[in-house]
């Protein structure tokens, strides 16, 4: 072979080698990039050519797919029959804006791409029959979910709030509501203009309807934080009958602000720990933290109860925070649920769930079951213990105290009473800033609690939050919580 021909041969071999390497690089190393690229319309068409699995709760379908009209290049369109009350759970599947909520976290099973559906997909090759995606069955009780939605939105026009209802024994979420909400159906439209107009309306709305206030937003918990303080005090050796300092005012060291109670709520020099919780005495709990407990037991108990952890249900839950406790003035405010203490509504429900379940805190979980397209069970949702924040004896003492909050004539939780059942809880009122004129904004209203059924089992724990509800807000939150617990007991 002469020299020019040899050089041409070498160049051709090198070029083919580079082409081969590039082909393999695209097919393997960059497979995910091209597979998931928004401009890869072929992938999108393929995704919408298969009927997506359903998201269901009880007997209700929360999300399913329906055939589109002739002429639509995408064979199926997602629909959400119960829309707003469930939107923050289901999320949406949109051609323009992608996926969110359970549509996103459970996409593999819903789309049929889950490896456990391989046999179903393989059968298509032999039968020619298209197999739908798998189904996600939630632990949500639709009746409780809808009742929570109607109760919160019925407080006042445009009321902002949230509610979480748990089964303390398993951690299963029975209801998870956030208001205001949005209709995901327009986002799922194959008409890009309709989808775009809905997106613009939702994202420009100052009430932020797409924000899940039950798990993704943090709020000052007010006096529901006293459950954490009471748990720390009991774990340190106190009892419900231990006398603690009280009085109607208290100025912590280094503080520029005096802590007070509502009117003449706690005038005595001393009260039992139980009585202080029953009347929700700010001064008693502030003094208890500053003068007896110190910051470490409060931080340790908060952490054991789930503060500082980003949980998944499988939806994300923001980490609650106890803030800076290093200064006595900060500590005093934190122990009445102010300063830098901030919780999710989910975390507030978890406080009562741990008390009701004897000190065993279960991880909250939305998934009851994952199903194949033929509705056979592939997997049950997990029931995992998150922590043991306190002993069974401490839990029993906390129950005694929280039940007194509801049952006592001077307790703040009377609105949660349910005839014939044992109910415990704690109310909360939280300040959260001032307006442009320096006036206090209306206070948030809270209630966290639990109820036992007739067999003595802790079947429900709840937290209800009403933003800026003002005077009577905590009483209204308590009333709503009582209604939701009653439904769970039926």
Cα separations in angstroms, 395 against 121, 208, 392, 443: 50, 38, 5, 30
The DSSP secondary structure of 393-457, one letter per residue, reads HHHHHHHHHHHHHHHSTT-TTGGG--TTSEEEEEEEEE---B-TTSPBPPPEEEEEEEEE-TTS-
**CA–CA separation, 446 vs 430, rounded Å?**
8
pLDDT digits (tens, 9 = 90+) for 150-169: 999 999 999 999 999 999 99
Question: How much of the chain is helix, strand and coil, in % rounded to 5?
Answer: 40, 20, 40
Q: State the pLDDT at residue 35.
A: 52
Q: State the pLDDT at residue 127.
A: 64
**CA–CA separation, 113 vs 110, rounded Å?**
8
Q: Could you tell me if 45 and 71 are in contact, meaning their C-beta atoms sit under 8 angstroms apart?
A: no
Query: Measured in whole angstroms, how far is the alpha carbon of residue 371 from the centre of its chain?
Result: 24
Q: State the pLDDT at residue 32.
A: 55
Q: pTM for this structure?
A: 0.89
Cis peptide before 314 (omega within 30 of 0): yes
Instruction: Find the catalytic residue in 181, 195, 223, 363.
Output: 223
Q: State the pLDDT at residue 69.
A: 81
**279 CB-contact burial (10 Å; exposed 0-12 / middle 13-18 / buried 19+):** buried
**CA–CA separation, 313 vs 471, rounded Å?**
34
Residue 54 annotated among the catalytic residues of the structure: no
**CA–CA separation, 342 vs 333, rounded Å?**
12
Give strand pairing partners of 173.
166
Nearest to 408 by CA among 390, 383, 427: 427
Could you read off the pLDDT tens digit of each residue along the chain, which spans 490 residues? 566 666 666 666 766 666 666 655 555 555 555 455 544 455 566 677 789 999 999 999 999 999 988 767 888 999 999 999 999 999 999 999 999 999 999 999 999 988 888 776 666 666 656 778 999 999 999 999 999 999 999 999 999 999 999 999 999 999 999 999 999 999 999 999 999 999 999 999 999 999 999 999 999 999 999 999 999 999 999 999 999 999 999 999 988 889 999 878 899 999 999 999 999 999 999 999 999 999 999 999 999 999 999 999 999 999 999 999 999 999 999 999 999 999 999 999 999 999 999 999 999 999 999 999 999 999 999 999 999 999 999 999 999 999 999 999 999 999 999 999 999 999 999 988 777 777 888 999 999 999 999 999 999 999 999 999 988 999 999 999 999 999 999 8
CATH topology of domain 222-366+384-489: Beta-lactamase (3.40.710)
Please list the alpha-helical segments (H only) found in 68-117: 87-90, 101-105, 107-111
Question: How many CB atoms are closer than 10 A to CB 199?
Answer: 18
């Amino acid at each position: 072979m002469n020299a020019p021909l040899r050089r041409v041969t070498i160049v051709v071999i090198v070029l083919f080698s580079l082409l081969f390497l590039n082909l393999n690089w695209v097919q393997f190393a960059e497979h995910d990039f091209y597979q998931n690229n928004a401009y890869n319309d072929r992938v999108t068409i393929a995704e919408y050519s298969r009927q997506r699995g359903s998201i269901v709760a009880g007997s209700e379908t929360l999300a399913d797919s329906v055939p589109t009209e002739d002429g639509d290049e995408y064979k199926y369109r997602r629909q959400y029959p119960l829309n707003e009350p469930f939107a923050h759970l289901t999320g949406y599947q949109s051609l323009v804006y992608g996926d969110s909520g359970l549509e996103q976290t459970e996409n593999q099973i819903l789309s049929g791409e889950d490896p456990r559906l391989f046999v179903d997909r393989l059968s298509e090759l032999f039968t020619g029959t298209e197999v739908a995606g798998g189904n996600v069955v939630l632990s949500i009780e639709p009746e409780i979910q809808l009742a929570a939605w109607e109760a919160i939105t019925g407080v006042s026009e445009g009321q902002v709030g949230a509610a979480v209802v748990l089964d303390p024994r398993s951690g299963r979420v029975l209801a998870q509501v956030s208001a205001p909400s949005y209709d995901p159906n327009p986002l799922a439209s194959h008409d890009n203009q309709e989808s775009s107009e809905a997106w613009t309306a939702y994202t420009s709305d100052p009430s932020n309807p797409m924000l899940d206030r039950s798990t993704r937003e943090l709020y000052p918990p007010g006096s529901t934080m006293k459950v954490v303080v009471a748990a720390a005090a009991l774990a340190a050796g106190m009892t419900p009958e231990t006398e603690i300092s009280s009085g109607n005012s208290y100025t912590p060291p280094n503080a520029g602000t005096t802590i007070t109670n509502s009117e003449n709520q706690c005038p005595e020099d001393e009260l039992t720990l139980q009585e202080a919780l029953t009347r929700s005495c700010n001064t008693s709990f502030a003094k208890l933290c500053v003068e007896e407990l110190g910051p470490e037991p409060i931080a340790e108990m908060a952490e054991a109860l789930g503060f500082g952890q980003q949980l998944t249900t499988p939806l994300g839950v923001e980490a609650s925070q106890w803030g800076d406790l290093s200064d006595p003035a900060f500590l005093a405010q934190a122990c009445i649920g102010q300063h830098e203490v901030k919780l999710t509504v989910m975390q507030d429900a978890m406080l009562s769930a741990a008390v009701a379940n004897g000190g065993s805190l279960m991880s909250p979980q939305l998934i009851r079951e994952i199903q194949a397209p033929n509705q056979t069970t592939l997997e049950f949702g997990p029931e995992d213990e998150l922590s043991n924040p306190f002993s069974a004896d401490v839990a029993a003492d906390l129950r005694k105290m929280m039940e007194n909050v509801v049952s006592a004539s001077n307790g703040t939780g009377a609105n949660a009473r349910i005839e014939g059942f044992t109910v415990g809880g704690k109310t909360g009122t939280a300040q959260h800033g001032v307006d442009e004129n320096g006036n206090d904004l209306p206070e948030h209203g809270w209630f966290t609690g639990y109820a036992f059924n007739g067999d003595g089992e802790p079947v429900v724990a709840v937290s209800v939050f009403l933003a800026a509800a003002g005077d009577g807000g905590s009483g209204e939150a308590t009333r709503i919580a009582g209604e939701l617990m009653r439904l769970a007991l039926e």
